[in-house]
Structure 1
Amino acid sequence: MSLKKWTELDIDHLDLVEVSEMEKARVKQHVLKKHKRAPILRNIAVASIIVLSATITTGFAFPTIASQIPFMDNIISYFTDDERSTNFENFSTDVGLIETSNGTTVMIENAVYDGTNITVSYAIETERPFGDESSTLSHHSFNVEDSMGGSGSREIKRITDTRYVGIETITPFFKDAQHPETVQVKWEPTIIRDNEGAEIEGDWSFAFSLKRLEGNVALLNETVQNEDVLFTLQSVEYTPVSTIISYEQVVTDELLKSWESVTPVFRVSDDLGHVYLDELGGGGMSHDNGKTFKGTTEFGTIQEGASQLIIQPIEIASLNFGKGHIEIELDPIVIELNQ
């Protein structure tokens, strides 16, 4: 609109367009300040625009919008206990990227890189109800530059008819297991689906970088074995948000003749009785068809007062695809925490 037309505009006869709480929050962004900002990997042109149409795709990178939208405040609290939620909030990077496409808004709230895993909290708001109370959503995963692949986990919760919150943990695999000091993360969901097959298409695109969270690494190289599996707990890293165990195992050719894959899960507890993992595992990879397997597993921070961490590997020898498996329990490894 030209300046002349703008000055002659009859504001008493404008057609008003109703906006969501998320849109209102954007208007407030220019007076907000951030605590910590993830570097954005794209150029953003900023202009003052009045939009009277809901059909335009918009992209924003305002780092404190989450705090202005109630359902987006501290997303991780929907998925974990108070202590871990507080740790994540205190040490994560405030990403604050938000894009709307075809009436659906996607936002990345916070993210943290602990040197092994990347954890991202995000939210989705649809224009109209999508699915029912039992619906779960799926989408394309996050990509990490220079990684050779990866594994991870995802959980999405429906909190209203049109709002979802999600938490995703990505474990990228890098050459020679050398994790960089900074990771470049991209996410282009493209299509969001529910478990009934309904789809929402859009043009959402995010890119940001994260610096590695500093932690203390204890090199262990503790080994346990039986006749078929040699398991080595290489190290434990303690960060403000997580505890990460790194391991390597070698299995015999005889075991692999009977089972297609052999991978570990863990029981992890401390001497005070706190349980951190109960037969759960993490990501890993093999370059020799499963004979040698390297991986990491992450869990929360150690409870105050604990003096020992007990880690018991349990090997899952499987035929895969639900065709059957057996469990092989190895001896626990006890780590002294106060040394």
Structure 2
Amino acid sequence: MSIKKWMDLDIDNLELLEVTNLEKARVKQHVLKKHKKAPFWRNIAVASIIILGATVTTGFAFPTIASQIPFMDQIISYFKDENQTNNFETFSTDVGLVQTSNGITVMIENAVYDGTNITVSYAIETEHPFNDSLSHHWFDVEGAIAASGSDAMKKITDTHYVGMTTITPTFKGDVHPETVQVTWKPTSFSDNEGVEVKGDWYFAFSVERLEGNLELLNKTVQNKDVTFTLQSIEYTPVSTNISYEQVVSDELLQSWDSVTPVFKITDNLGHVYLDKLSGGGMSPDHFKTFKGTTEFGTIQEEASQLIIQPIGIASLNDGKGQIEIELDPIVIDLK
């Protein structure tokens, strides 16, 4: 069947399933969405999907379970106040995979890969009495030798959660591929009161890298114990990414177990992008050197300068104490 015939389907008159008018409308909306479709890089049977028709070669797949989740196209709206969601809907890949197991339905909505980080939006519908906190197993990225990131989840009703996960993979030679292949096998969901539900969910999808503008900087600030070099900054339609290296003295490490950088990042107009936060990184030599990346949202168009202040957090770990080592700010003129 041609793509045109798929687009002209009269969904309101289909009798394939007994569904509500709302569900029909949401399936139709999914067909007409302008997001690009994520290519499946493993067996398409891993997703709980149903295809209208016996044989389809056009690539249109319709996750009917997603039509039963009323917030399937609204996940990003719950994170609008978070800077990293800027332009997410416009430039993200439409994943649209759904699976149900043991009373929990999980849907991956969209994903975006900015060349450094992968951000994924997802939703959960559950029959089980979880509290406000809900944790799960991490995403995997093929070819990554390590990964870090963050996960924000919000409970929006007694049975519904929405989430945004950012994954920062590290690849051999620090060479990031043009396409990343992501898998997610949660295995179980649990809260901090001991409620745990195991199940069988498995997702696989790939996301292409967004085009960005990379600027090499190699700007260094230092004091007697810490040398920090801002190696580069990359601007993409959804994010700003900085790459850096920190080197600390042996004397400092004799007193502290670890030294990691966080950042205060503002512009000349006073907008705050990060306030003592950081991203993922690695140290091959017990924090003598530390290489990492940090992501924040797109910069305000009116700004002419970006001000990045590194702060070294020297810590004894395990809550035993820490100090902050402030370095001079690095000022970047925006083009």
Q: Fold match, TM over 0.5?
A: yes
1:258 aligns with 2:283: no
Q: Which amino acid aligns with 2:37?
A: R
User: Displacement, 1:288?
Assistant: 1.3
Confirm or deny that 1:91 pairs with 2:88. no
Aligned residue for 1:11?
A: none
Contact 2:51 2:61 in 1 (8 A): no
Report what 1:320 is aligned to: 317
1:34-45 equivalences in 2 (<5 Å): 34-35=33-34, 36-44=36-44
Is contact 2:50-2:61 (8 Å) kept?
Answer: no
User: Does 2:48 align with 1:32?
Assistant: no
Q: Given the superposition, is the C-alpha separation of residues 37 and 254 from structure 1 closer, same or farther in structure 2, using an over 3 Å criterion?
A: same
- For the residues of structure 2 that align with 1:125 and 1:65, how far apart are their CA atoms? 11
Q: Could you say what secondary structure the match of 1:256 adopts? A: helix
* Equivalent position to 2:209, from 209, 212, 219: 212
- Matched with 1:74 is 74
Pair 1:294–1:72, CA change in 2 (3 A): same
Please say if 1:276 is aligned against 2:278: no
Q: CA deviation at 1:20?
A: 9.7
C-alpha contact (below 8 Å) 1:64/1:96 kept by paired residues = no
For 1:101 and 1:227, the matched residues in 2 are separated by 56
Describe the superposition over 1:229-264 as per-residue Cα deviations: whole angstroms up to 9, x where unpaired.
110000110000000010011111111111111110
User: Greater Rg, structure 1 or structure 2?
Assistant: 1
Please state how far the C-alpha of 1:26 moved relative to its aligned partner: 11
Amino acid corresponding to residue 124 of structure 1 in structure 2? I
Letter in 1 for 2:73: D
The answer on whether the counterparts of 1:115 and 1:179 sit within 8 Å (CA) in structure 2 is yes
Please name the residue that 2:137 is paired with.
140
How much has 1:32 moved relative to structure 2?
2.3
| 8 Å CA contact 1:215, 1:239 repeated in 2 | yes
Taking the aligned partners of 2:118 and 2:51, their CA distance within structure 1 comes to 35
Query: Equivalents in 1 of 2:200, 2:151: separation in Å?
Result: 21
Tell me how far apart the structure 2 counterparts of residues 121 and 144 of structure 1 sit (CA, whole Å): 16
Quote the sequence identity (%): 69
Preserved contact between residue 84 and residue 296 of structure 2 (Cα < 8 Å): no
1:190 maps to: 187
Give the residue type in structure 1 aligned to 2:101.
S
Q: After superposition, what is the alpha-carbon deviation per residue over 1:262-296, rounded to whole angstroms, capped at 9, x for unaligned?
A: 11000000000101011111100011111111000
User: Could you give the per-residue CA deviations for residues 15-37 of structure 1, whole angstroms, max 9, x where no partner exists?
Assistant: xx998999x56994798244311
Does the 8 Å CA contact 1:67/1:73 hold for their aligned counterparts?
Answer: no
Using the TM superposition, give the Cα deviation of residue 68 of structure 1 relative to its aligned residue in structure 2, in angstroms: 7.4
1:98 counterpart SS class: strand
Q: Secondary structure, in 3 states, of the residue corresponding to 1:115?
A: coil
User: Which residue in the other structure is 1:13 paired with?
Assistant: none
Q: Confirm or deny: 8 A CA contact 1:99 1:204 kept in the other structure.
A: yes
Which of 277, 283, 292 aligns to 1:286? It is 283
Q: Choose which of 148, 155, 160 in structure 1 pairs with 2:157.
A: 160
Distance 1:97 1:185 in 2: 13
SS at match of 1:149: strand
Q: Identify which of 300, 303, 307 aligns with 1:303.
A: 300
Quote the RMSD (CA, aligned, Å): 2.8
After superposition, what is the alpha-carbon deviation per residue over 1:307-334, rounded to whole angstroms, capped at 9, x for unaligned?
0000000000001111100000000000
Amino acid corresponding to residue 98 of structure 1 in structure 2: V
**Letter in structure 1 aligned against 2:100:** T
1:14 is matched with which residue? none
Change in 2 beyond 3 A, CA 1:242/1:189 = same
Deviations 1:155-178 (A, max 9, x none): 111111111101100111111211
Aligned AA (1:187): W
Aligned pair in 2 of structure 1 residues 30, 76: CA closer, same or farther (>3 Å)? Answer: closer
Deviates more, 1:36-45 or 1:312-321: 36-45
Change (3 A) 1:333 1:27: closer
Q: Distance in 1 between matches of 2:232 and 2:253?
A: 26
- TM-score normalised by length of structure 2: 0.85
Post-superposition offset of 1:104:
1.3
Which secondary structure does the structure 1 equivalent of 2:90 belong to?
Answer: helix
Greater CA drift, 30-39 or 154-163? 30-39
Give the SS at the match of 2:77.
helix
Which runs of 5 or more structure 2 residues have no equivalent in the other structure? 1-16, 53-59
**Gaps spanning 5+ residues in structure 1: where?**
1-16, 50-59
Supply the distance in 2 between the matched residues of 1:61 and 1:148 (Cα, whole angstroms): 32
